[in-house]
A = this chain, B = another copy of it.
Amino acid sequence: MASVDVGIGLLGYGTVGSSVNRLLVESADEIERATGHRLRVVRALVRDPAKERPFPAGDEVLTTDFAEFREDPNVQVVAEVMGGVQPAGDYVRELLRAGKPVVSANKQLIARDGAELFATASEAGVQLRFEASVCAAIPVVKVLRESLVVTNVHRVLGIVNGTTNFMLSHMERGGSYADALAEAQALGYAEADPTDDVSGADAAAKMAILATVAFGSRVGYEDVERRGIEELEPAHVSAAAQLGMVVRLIGIATLVGDAVDVRVQPALVDRAHPLAAVDGAFNAVMLQGDAIREITLEGPGAGGIETASAVVADLVSVVGTSGTGFLQNDACWRSLAKLPSSEWRSPFYVHLEVSDRPGVLAHVTSRLASHEVSVAQLVQKLEDGAATLELVLHRAPYGAVAEAMREIAVFPEVLRPPFVLPVITERGL
């Protein structure tokens, strides 16, 4: 096969963009063997061409003019590696309309504007790929789309934010939330403003994208129930340890009949569960389905070169499958309802601080029983006339647990609002 040059345009030339260029240069032979094409960066849109960059692009490559970038006939495939919802979204939209396939590493853009962007791509008949937008080099989008096409994945569990996973691992060894954050910042895992990570916003965007691909129905960022790790206290972490569990920020997407539930929140994870073993800043995604039982993918979920490796894999797939109708875009083909949060079922953990009076335990358990919620495990600790109850509840609808907790919260002997987290023990074995 004669080798053909394919011109690549980069939207952005920061850490990820320069790594994409480096990989394309250093792996040109590998790519040519895989596709019959040589991929070469011919244009990169940047704000400041004078800025010093780790792997500089050629002299004629950088431009600050989007119209010039868009009109350049040598730009045949685009990689969006600039981040941010705007102006990235407008650029991607215009490029798709101009008939250029786009590969994006931008989770917030795909999770928020996916519906419109994929429709634009379909109308234009070009591909929009997004492997790098979720968990960097872990190829979970390709695996869901291509390898598990007939397996009816019904549950996706993930640790998809490395910063919070690092922080929670740190708290497990005895640190406070503030210590853990400071350590993550010192090591470069957390930004100066860590809000996106600790609030679960970053993880929610990734879970929206994964749920969309897994279930074939659009889940946007705003459809994801979200709770951050800010209110976690060392007491919760040590209570988890006593129960044989760890606390992790978990993404859970569940298909229940014709409805979908997607959530990101701290959860207690059984120590024997594979997600409990995910190290520090690593990510892991567990896919449970009919034919596969359970497949877990684990690896670095962030990093410039790791993300660039996924961008390049998508560029290679675009070039390798263009002209076929194979697995274009995100393949939403149905519109599933959102499961009412009250119907979402899980085992739960409850941390309850009460004054130590006779009958309080009976009072609590009878309230739970009246909502048909039963107790699997109970640890009671006494200190200075107050008691801490650590309860693990059997699998129950969240609505029933929440209702029982509302009733329990107003008991005179309950000192603080009950603190409730889901518990992850289930496997698809």
- Enumerate chain A interface residues (CB-CB to B < 8 A): 1, 19, 23-24, 26-27, 30-31, 33-36, 131, 137-139, 142-143, 145-152, 216, 274, 277, 279, 290-300, 303, 305-306, 308-310, 312-313, 316-317, 320-327, 331, 333, 429
Contact = CB atoms under 8 A, between A and B. Distances in A.
B149 A312 contact: yes
Given A26-B150, A274-B277, A321-B321, 19 more contacts: A33-B216, A33-B331, A137-B291, A139-B148, A142-B143, A143-B143, A148-B309, A149-B313, A150-B312, A150-B316, A290-B305, A292-B299, A293-B299, A293-B300, A296-B297, A297-B298, A298-B298, A320-B324, A323-B324
Nearest to A304: B291
A31 B149 contact: yes
B300 A297 contact: no
Contact of A23 (B291, B309, B317): B291
Q: Which of A30, A34, A147, A316 has the most CB of B within 10 A?
A: A147
A27 B152 CA distance: 9
B320 A321 contact: yes
A382 to B, nearest CB: 35
A34 B298 contact: no
B150 A137 contact: no
A324 B36 CA distance: 10
Q: Which of A31, A137, A290, A294 has the most CB of B within 10 A?
A: A137
Contacts of A27: 149-150, 152
Contacts of A296: 296-299
Contacts of A33: 216, 331, 333
A428 to B, nearest CB: 9
B34 A149 contact: yes
Contacts of A300: 292-295
Nearest to A305: B291
Nearest to A147: B139
B292 A146 contact: no
A122 to B, nearest CB: 12
Contacts of A131: 147
12 contacts: A23-B150, A23-B291, A30-B150, A31-B150, A34-B149, A137-B293, A142-B146, A143-B143, A149-B313, A293-B303, A296-B298, A321-B324
